[in-house]
């Protein structure tokens, strides 16, 4: 279909249902009401890789049968159509359940660190930033090569960090084998688990949207959730630890796992996030 097609046309085509109304939510999102009272969200991506990666990620998370994600009705080179999640309020019960479900999602595993979802592209995205899903077997090496250093180089090229500051983060990467803690199997990650992608549903459960799904270290999802905040964080952690206790020393490793999202944000949004990444790097080297 032509790019000139609107969200209502896309919803009708990809759901096979008649559209009764449409309401713009943001620049990229439109809520479309369908005959029968059902509502979907139509999202326009910036390119085929973005839409394909998100659709594949949602399906991969759903296949685990653990966390709740919106149903994918269909996608094409520009558009993604999913169920709309009615919003509720955060509760301690939902937070506890979410922690357990997130642990189960991680335990469902991935073929390798960096493995993309089935049908998902290697050239994927995290938010607005490109992200490559290149498989690896050794987490410290893979994390440095494919999650930290690409964004550090971009930040250096943009002048967001200096060469001296970049060398500090590179030293952390060199020391990752000794700092990373016990070896863990590849986990099935949401991959962009900040509070904006955590929906507290009207059904009393947590729903996850907008994944940057890939195989990774389970502590990375938890560190990102900690970095950007989440309602009832202690209860989320209680549920997680109850289902799958974290390895000793995990609290000291939170900053290491936050280097990746902090550098992504430094590339997208500037110096403030670079300063946070440098503070994390200094703490890791001092510890």
Q: How far apart are CA 166 and CA 161, in angstroms?
A: 6
SS3 content of the chain, % helix, strand, coil (to 5): 50, 20, 35
Q: Of 75, 154, 192, 221, which is the active-site residue? A: 192
Per the listing, tokens 């200096």 go with 162
Residue 84, classed as helix, strand or coil, is coil
Assess whether 192 carries a catalytic annotation: yes
Residues whose CB is less than 8 angstroms from the CB of residue 151 and which lie 6 or more positions away in sequence, other chains included: 129, 260, 263, 264, 266, 267
Helix (H) or strand (E) holding 61: helix 48-63
Phi, psi of 126 (to 5 degrees): -125, 110
Q: What's the token pair of residue 197?
A: 């992608």
Residues whose CB is less than 8 angstroms from the CB of residue 179 and which lie 6 or more positions away in sequence, other chains included: 140, 172, 253, 256, 284
CB atoms under 10 Å from CB of 4, counted, come to: 6
**Would you say 271 and 261 are in contact if contact means Cβ atoms under 8 Å apart?**
no
Active site residues: 192
């Amino acid at each position: 279909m032509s790019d000139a097609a609107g969200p209502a046309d896309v919803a009708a085509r990809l759901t096979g249902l008649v559209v009764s109304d449409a309401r713009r939510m943001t620049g990229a999102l439109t809520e479309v009401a369908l005959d029968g009272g059902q509502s979907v969200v139509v999202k326009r991506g910036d390119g085929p890789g973005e839409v394909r990666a998100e659709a594949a990620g949602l399906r991969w998370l759903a296949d685990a049968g653990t966390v709740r994600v919106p149903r994918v009705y269909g996608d094409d080179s520009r558009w993604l159509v999913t169920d709309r999640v009615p919003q509720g309020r955060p509760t301690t019960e939902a937070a506890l359940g979410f922690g357990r479900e997130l642990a189960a999602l991680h335990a469902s595993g991935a073929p390798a660190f960096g493995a993309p979802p089935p049908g998902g592209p290697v050239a994927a995205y995290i938010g607005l930033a490109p992200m490559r899903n290149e498989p690896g077997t050794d987490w410290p090496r893979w994390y440095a090569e494919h999650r930290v250093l690409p964004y550090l180089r971009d930040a250096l090229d943009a002048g967001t960090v200096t060469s001296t500051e970049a060398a500090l983060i590179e030293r952390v990467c060199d020391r990752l084998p000794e700092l990373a803690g016990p070896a863990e199997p590849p986990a099935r990650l949401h991959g962009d688990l900040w509070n904006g992608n955590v929906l507290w549903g009207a059904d009393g459960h947590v729903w996850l949207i907008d994944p940057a799904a890939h195989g990774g270290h389970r502590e990375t999802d938890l560190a990102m959730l900690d970095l950007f905040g989440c309602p009832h964080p202690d209860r989320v952690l209680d549920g997680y630890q109850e289902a799958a206790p974290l390895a000793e020393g995990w609290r000291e490793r939170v900053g290491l796992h936050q280097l990746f999202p902090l550098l992504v944000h430094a590339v997208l949004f500037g110096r403030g996030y670079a300063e946070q990444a440098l503070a994390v790097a200094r703490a890791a080297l001092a510890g």
